[in-house]
Structure 1
Amino acid sequence: MAIATVNPATGETLQTFDALDADGIEERLARAEEAFRSYRTTSFEERGELLRNAAGLLEAGQDGIARTMTTEMGKPLAAARAEAAKCAKAMRWYAGHAEELLADEVPDPGDVKDAGATRAYVRYRPLGTVLAVMPWNFPLWQVIRFAAPALMAGNTCLLKHASNVPQTALYVEDLLRRAGFPEGCFQTLLVGSGAIEDILRDRRVAAATLTGSEPAGRSVASIAGDEIKKTVLELGGSDPYIVLPSADLDAAVRTAVTARVQNNGQSCIAAKRFIVHTDVYDEFAVRFTERMAGLTVGDPMEETTDVGPLSSEQGRSDLEELVDDAVRRGAAALCGGKRPEKLTAGWFYEPTVLAGITPEMRIHREEAFGPVATLYRVNDLDEAITTANDTSFGLSSNAWTRDEAEQERLIRDIEAGGLFFNGMTASHPALPFGGIKRSGYGRELAGHGIREFCNATTVWYGA
């Protein structure tokens, strides 16, 4: 795949980039190792000041980077601006909380004595250089939510970004350089996926994190396992959105639309399977379909656009295959199900609602990465939970109910890394983020995330 900016709203290639050769990769690996030797000795106060500098620069240039993201992968401009603002917030959060999150952990004095020590504690120390393999769908947020905690912990970072967002990738390196981070602390590697294995196997790379597809995660995990290196994986999702009779239906319908079409429907944590109790199914289906059909599809640079193009021609083709397979096997397209007739350039697809989903349909098992929602009618809470868990994924989940007993049952039985009641899934620096099953392992964000790439060192003192 070429490393290039291709506008998904027009299909036009705007800029291409040369991939790093072996000498260029070697130079950056050496620079990262050298930077780690000194950067690891800096204080939390020093690192926090640099990260706050970066947050300020990001906010000052928010509109520019938002336009770059929209140009490269097609998200509506308002969503791109919000993504940039979220990144600045996350950098400030880690700048202010990293020291307490990584403070020495001191056991109970009685346990210290039982261990035969006069004093003992756990200290979190940085691992070294961490390789991040990141996706195009949230091209700034995915990088910052890795880089902010990794840098605050004292690690250095190498970024292999998706090949269709090279300008965003280069922007992050430049942003952190302008903020004052020492040379080599954060570097972007413009390389194809074929270069990842050799980089990950290099002795100077201590660990890796990947957000992306299941095949990509399997590949990176396999290589890292062979090298016995730590990994964190955040892979696909097919999140359930359960609506039960006690729900505020107005809010559930309104939020369902946003939860499905956020980022043009190209989000691992977007709600995809709408599992609705039979008592409210008919009303939900009508109102949800009306709202989905009423969304404005068009130029993502226009402020009035709700849904922009998919990021690539292949991505649209993959989505079309899932929808066509479902319809062929008996699903009903309540709205959408095709390309917009008036948008002949670019990779647009109509917001779509499919009903009558059955297990033999591919879309029941595979992730639909675009503005396509599937509706399921269930008779009770047991059936809702069974349907929700009938997936190989387990990233997050949503449930609309005001019944506390139902909420407790869902917390106990839903198989996912997160459960959001009466709202939609979102990531926040203070809350751990990640999944189970084929959605990956490990956690990003919060204290869980910053400690993923630290050496939890036991320190023991005798007499």
Structure 2
Amino acid sequence: MTETVKLKSPIDGSIYAERPVATDPEVNAAVERARAAQAGWAQTSIAERGKYMLAMLEALVSMTDEIVPEIAWQMGRPVRYGGEFGGVRERVSYMVEIAEQALKPVPASNPKDGFRRYVKKEPLGVVMVIAPWNYPYLTAVNTIVPALMAGSTVILKHAAQTLLVGERFAKAFEMAGLPRGVFQNVVLNHGQTEKLLGSGRIDHVNFTGSVGGGRAIEKAAAGTFMTLGLELGGKDPAYVLSDAKIDHAVASLVDGAFFNSGQCCCGIERVYVHEKVYDQFVEGFITETKNYVVGNPLEQATTLGPMAQARFADLIREQKAEALRKGAVAHVNMKVDNDVAGSPYIAPEVLTNVDHQMSVMREESFGPIVGIMKVRNDEEAVALMNDSPYGLTASIWTSDTEHAVSIGDRVETGTIFMNRCDYLDPALVWTGVKDTGKGAALSAIGYDNLTRPKSYHLREEI
């Protein structure tokens, strides 16, 4: 019997899509095509590669009307928010725009008469992208586009929960006329993925997902010496100072906590508020949260759809129950149809009287729940923000830029925001520390992580 991957929709529990898992000969053929195509692709000019990327982008955007409800069916995001193509367009366009400069040879810093000395940035070869379901287009292009622009070929293995996204990418590249073998979408099970990574036939893998998944990737790749890009867990904090513009902070942080049902890599999961503005902030935060409408993501009125899987929602229920047992106070208590154990539908929740003995303040939630703590000063806030095994982003809310920078210098994280959150600027490197993983995406530094240096030391005068 042929093994298949089934996509169970969070909307109604139905099987929305089912695809056969690639056979071992099919996997081998895909790798061979990628390897064979890579040499020719590397000889294609950067400008020409960019034309293919922009044509792919336009092909994707042309499918918006089909893709938006498709995303809702696959992982639950409400259709009212449209697709991800505003961000996709920004990232693709920027990485194409900077490619010539980012990839050009770097001359030696100390010129010597009679010599040409420089470092070229060579493509890695065959790059594998293992993409997540929460922002299935945005996260994938972070590596797909710069890897292709750098001259590598790409094999995409998308999450089972967003199985159809890989097919959309493949169709868009086909519409763009990309040469055969340069980009391929494959459907694999975990065992096949691990086997392929351990084969030594992949030169770089980029994985976005859980810490456990990242460890499995490292273990599978052990001994191959491939390079790795890993974006793993997060527990992103916010610190609201006494001079913050509270209305702006409330609106932004509520959105940062609950957009996409809280299923954001850099979503806000814990908030620390200076005691002088704590009561005002909490009151505003609760009021704003109660405006959410939980329901069927295919309906325009819905602003918060189901989580991608019921087990994710059950984790949020468990974190809330544990926090309440330990003395936390829940403020929203919204009544939602189907908000019961075993259902992906769950209401947003705001907790106060929380502390770091509760899992909701220490362990990744990745759902619509947030704890808010009162703090006395910067020292207490920084200590609490750093009291986490993760470090992706942290946001600081203040009217004093230099003060924000001084606090940010002490926070263990990959990105510091001031007066905003939950956003990737493609001109800035996207990276993390601690259990959030390693590697870097986007910006010119992202290109450095998707190329290898090759030195040229040429004596021209003898």
Give the TM-score, by structure 1 length.
0.95
Question: What secondary structure does 1:151 align onto?
Answer: helix
Q: Which runs of structure 2 are paired with 1:294-443 in the superposition (5 Å)?
A: 294-336=291-333, 340-341=336-337, 347-443=344-440
Asked if the contact 1:9–1:346 (Cα under 8 Å) also holds between the matched residues in 2, the reply is no
**In 2, distance between residues paired with 1:196 and 1:80?**
32
| Contact residue 435 and residue 441 of structure 1 kept, 8 A | yes
What is the CA-CA distance between 1:399 and the residue it aligns to? Answer: 0.6
Match for residue 230 of structure 2? 233
The correspondence of residues 20-169 of structure 1 with structure 2, limited to 5 A, is: 20-81=22-83, 83-108=84-109, 111-113=110-112, 118-169=115-166
Structure 1 position 215 matched with structure 2 position 216: no
- The DSSP-based 3-state class of the residue aligned with 1:369 is coil
Question: Equivalents in 1 of 2:171, 2:335: separation in Å?
Answer: 38
Cα offsets for 1:310-369 (capped at 9, x unmatched) = 000111112211111111121111113x77236689511101001112222122221111
Q: CA deviation at 1:265?
A: 0.4
Moved more, 257-266 or 340-349: 340-349
Q: Is the 8 A contact 2:235 2:390 kept in 1?
A: yes
Conserved? CA contact 2:199–2:224, under 8 Å: no
RMSD of equivalent CA atoms = 1.8
Could you tell me how far apart the structure 1 residues matched to 2:258 and 2:57 are? 28
1:222-257 superposed Cα distances (whole Å, 9 cap, x missing partner): 332421110011111111111001000010001111
Structure 1 contact 62–85 (Cα < 8 Å) conserved? no
Query: Which amino acid letter does the alignment assign opposite residue 216 of structure 2?
Result: S
Give the gaps of 5 or more residues in structure 2: none
- Give 1:300 shift: 1.3
The Cα shift of 1:94 comes to 2.2
- Identity percentage over the alignment? 29
Q: Distance in 1 between matches of 2:46 and 2:335?
A: 51
1:151 deviates by 0.5
Measured at CA, do residues 246 and 16 of structure 1 come closer, stay the same or move farther in structure 2, by a change above 3 Å?
A: same
Separation in 1, partners of 2:439, 2:50: 24
2:198–2:222 contact (8 Å) kept in structure 1: no
**Contact 1:66–1:84 (CA under 8 A) maintained in structure 2:** no
Instruction: Indicate conservation of the 8 Å contact 1:70/1:80, yes or no.
Output: no
User: CA distance change for structure 1 residues 312 and 95 in 2, over 3 Å: closer, same or farther?
Assistant: same
CA distance in 1, matches of 2:246, 2:192: 50
Q: Alpha-carbon deviation of 1:379?
A: 0.5
Cα distance, 1:78 vs. partner?
Answer: 3.5
1:405-454 Cα distance to aligned partner (Å, 9 max, x none):
42132121011000110111311221211110110111111111122120
Q: Could you tell me how far apart the structure 2 residues matched to 1:289 and 1:343 are?
A: 19
* Cα distance between partner residues in 2 of 1:252 and 1:180: 46
How many residues are aligned here? 457
Give the conservation status (yes or no) of the 8 Å contact 2:116–2:458.
yes
How far, CA to CA, are the matches of 2:174 and 2:407 in structure 1? Answer: 46
Q: For residue 178 of structure 1, give the secondary structure of its aligned residue in structure 2.
A: helix
Offset of residue 55 of structure 1: 1.4
Deviation of 1:79 (Å): 3.2
| Counterpart contact for 1:11–1:347, Cα < 8 Å | no
Alpha-carbon displacement from aligned partner over 1:285-322 (angstroms, at most 9, x marks no partner): 11101111221111212222211100001111122111
1:131 and 1:424 map into 2 onto residues whose CA distance is 29
| Contact 1:104/1:121, CA 8 A, preserved across alignment | yes
Task: Give the counterpart letter for 1:191 in structure 2.
Answer: L
Cα distance between partner residues in 2 of 1:436 and 1:414: 11
Q: Residue 441 of structure 2 corresponds to which residue in structure 1?
A: 444
Q: Do 1:208 and 1:230's aligned partners in 2 also have CA atoms closer than 8 Å?
A: yes
CA distance in 2, matches of 1:151, 1:79: 29
CA distance in 2, matches of 1:346, 1:240: 28
Report if the CA contact (8 A) 1:8-1:310 is conserved.
yes
Does structure 1 conserve the Cα–Cα contact (< 8 Å) formed by 2:316 and 2:368? no
Is 1:291 matched up with 2:285?
A: no
- Alpha carbons 1:357, 1:364 under 8 Å: kept: yes
Is this contact kept in 2: 1:130–1:205, CA < 8 A? yes
Counterpart CA distance in 2 for 1:434 and 1:274 is 21
Give the C-alpha shift of residue 262 in structure 1.
Answer: 1.6
Query: SS of the residue aligned with 1:426?
Result: coil
Judged with a 3 Å threshold, the aligned counterparts in structure 2 of structure 1 residues 360 and 117 are, in CA distance, closer, same or farther, namely farther
